[in-house]
Structure 1
Amino acid sequence: MAVFLLGLSAACCLGFGFVLQQRAATRAPLADFLSFRLLLDLIHMPDWLLGVALMVCGQVLGAVALAYGEVSLVEPLTATNLLFAMVLSRRLTGQPLGWNGWTGVALLALGVTAFIVAGRPAGGGAPAGALRHWLVFGIVAGLALLLTLKARRLPRSGEAALLGLAAGLLYGLQDSLTRVCGQIVQDDGLGVLAVSWQPYAVGVLGLTGMLLVQSAFEMAPLRMSLPSLTAAQPIAGIVCGVGFLGDRLRFTAGALAVEAAGLASIVAGVVLLGSHPAMPAGVAEEEPVGAARLR
């Protein structure tokens, strides 16, 4: 129960934080797109700082949840951050949920429930060897890099979607390494953690993911990037959890079918909620492209 509450609390902070960050990012100069100067511009905006504070709070709560629960359990719970983002966006815009909104809510909630009940995520499995560890790590990180490079060749909406997808993969990988850091502290103490590579990789992944997310938020409305971000993070986390952390899921034919249906339901719910009119518009919908680039 503590893991469930921590996961949902983390999702609440993340959802609220993403909405506030996007509202601020639309006011940043487009010349700083995919540049760390963008973060320097945003740091002067109070609403962005509040959004980042909420996001950090969510990440801390998520890390605590990961210390007591498996990645395969915590990640589906944090995917509900889109529900909380919808609550705040609806409050800001006054837009009713309607059939699309309520259907998205139901699909996301049912998908998370179905995956957890059918998969019964549990720890205790033998961690993978170095080869498998680095293979899974390299595939997830490499896919995020390819998506980022591909995004530069697409229109704004596609660019934001792929950047959100890449950031979600990095955040899922970051969550997995956060779990590893917690295990190192429990087994060997803080001294061993300080000389391990994992905590520094967590910092690099978090900073890179933040740059991708803010660039996506700056480029297009929230509905273009948040669905792919929210859908990719739990999938990447589950892949890493099962791939090299020793997480165990039920692999009977019936369980696999329900787990797959649950993940599909999560993705469908995320897409429906992310495309809802209540999600705040970005610069692309508020002013002409030429005017935006001249700011």
Structure 2
Amino acid sequence: MHSNLLAAFFALASALTIAWGTVVRHRIAEQAPADGSVHGSPIIAAASRPMWWAGTATALLGYALQVVALAFGTLLVVQPILVLSLMFTLPLSARYDGRRMATDELGWATALTVAVGVLVIMGDPLPGNPQPPMNRWLPALAVGVVTLGVLHLLSRRSDPNRRALLLGTITGGIYGYVAVLSKATVDVITHEGLLALATTWQGYSLAAGAILGTIVQQYAFNAGRLRNSLPAMTIIEPIFAFVLGYTVLGEKFQVSGWNWAIMALSLVVMILSTIALSSRRVG
């Protein structure tokens, strides 16, 4: 059943749970050594903490809610709403730090909410084809592998702050692909049943992407302050998902004429608000 309203509801629930998991795992990552030794591995050090597992479980729950949202609606509805996870991250982070949110943070948060609302309500996206032919998948996957691979090479030669930014960008890119593969996988389950995943490439690719994204995200958290990695993670994911939703799945916004200018302005406001909020105080 297609319902953008239900998709929005589950996407909001996903954003909230993702936010809590992000704050918990980042706080643990800040305390984890990264000296290059086996015992200093960010993953090994973080995984030794029970709270990291609690945060990871919450993030997985958030992803499950995202999958449910995608089962009801389009990527072009779900992805902008997931950006609001940043709005939930801010008060949670402030509470952990024992401080109050500043006036300008509240202003940017309001701007972000309005921008997302315009994209979802005015855009009123139409669903595409969740199972496009391989000749539409292969170019998109090849471009993603090359682009993210180059960014990884650059991150290895960067200072900590730039490394956190690049790893955050890679994480966002990976999760953008994970979002598109999630939509395709949900369609397989809906029409062919759960057992059909054993014979389709989408399910395996989704699992590989989700695992890789979790690992890279933990390294991004460990590389520097959350304000260096979170903006890239939060913005790059919907951008990748938007582009892939249009080019691969064929989803479309129902706008024309000058309404496109309003949509473009809303997208710019969403990006600027996210950058301002995440770099203002988080981490």
Using structure 2 for the length normalisation, give the TM-score: 0.92
Relative to structure 1, is the Cα distance of residues 158 and 261 closer, same or farther in structure 2, using a 3 angstrom cutoff?
same
**Contact 2:86–2:278 (Cα < 8 Å) also in 1:** yes
The residue identity in structure 2 corresponding to 1:40 is: I
Alpha-carbon offset, residue 181 of structure 1 = 0.7
Match of 1:270 among 256, 271, 274: 274
Match of 2:153 in 1: 149
Match of 1:121 among 103, 121, 125: 125
Q: Secondary structure at the match of 1:26?
A: helix
The residue identity in structure 2 corresponding to 1:5 is: F
**Contact 2:34–2:41 (Cα < 8 Å) also in 1:** no
1:45-56 alignment, distance < 5 Å: 45-56=49-60
Relative to structure 1, is the Cα distance of residues 254 and 35 closer, same or farther in structure 2, using a 3 angstrom cutoff?
farther
**Contact 1:168–1:233 (Cα < 8 Å) also in 2:** yes
The residue identity in structure 2 corresponding to 1:166 is: I
Alpha-carbon offset, residue 10 of structure 1 = 0.3
Match of 1:39 among 36, 39, 43: 43
Q: Secondary structure at the match of 2:35?
A: helix
Match of 1:179 in 2: 183
Match of 1:19 in 2: 23
Post-superposition Cα deviations, 1:70-115, rounded to whole Å, max 9, x if no partner, equal 1111001111110111010111113322233122202211211121
Match of 1:65 among 62, 65, 69: 69
Alpha-carbon offset, residue 59 of structure 1 = 0.2
Match of 2:110 in 1: 106
Using structure 1 for the length normalisation, give the TM-score: 0.88
Q: Secondary structure at the match of 2:110?
A: helix
Relative to structure 1, is the Cα distance of residues 276 and 247 closer, same or farther in structure 2, using a 3 angstrom cutoff?
same
CA RMSD of aligned residues (A): 2.1
Post-superposition Cα deviations, 1:127-156, rounded to whole Å, max 9, x if no partner, equal 643222221222233322222221222221
Match of 2:81 among 49, 73, 77: 77
Match of 1:188 among 192, 210, 228: 192
**Contact 1:71–1:241 (Cα < 8 Å) also in 2:** yes
Tell me how many residue pairs correspond in the alignment: 279
Question: Is 1:250–2:254 an aligned residue pair?
Answer: yes
Question: Is 1:137–2:150 an aligned residue pair?
Answer: no
- Structure 2 stretches of 5 or more lacking a match? none
CA distance in 2: counterparts of 1:56 and 1:106, whole angstroms: 27
CA distance in 1: counterparts of 2:81 and 2:88, whole angstroms: 12
Give me the identity figure in percent.
Answer: 26
The residue identity in structure 2 corresponding to 1:194 is: A
Relative to structure 1, is the Cα distance of residues 117 and 202 closer, same or farther in structure 2, using a 3 angstrom cutoff?
same
The residue identity in structure 2 corresponding to 1:92 is: Y
Tell me whether 19-28 or 32-41 shows the greater mean CA deviation. 32-41
1:209-248 alignment, distance < 5 Å: 209-248=213-252
- Structure 1 stretches of 5 or more lacking a match? 281-295
Question: Is 1:28–2:32 an aligned residue pair?
Answer: yes
CA distance in 2: counterparts of 1:127 and 1:189, whole angstroms: 15
CA distance in 1: counterparts of 2:151 and 2:34, whole angstroms: 20
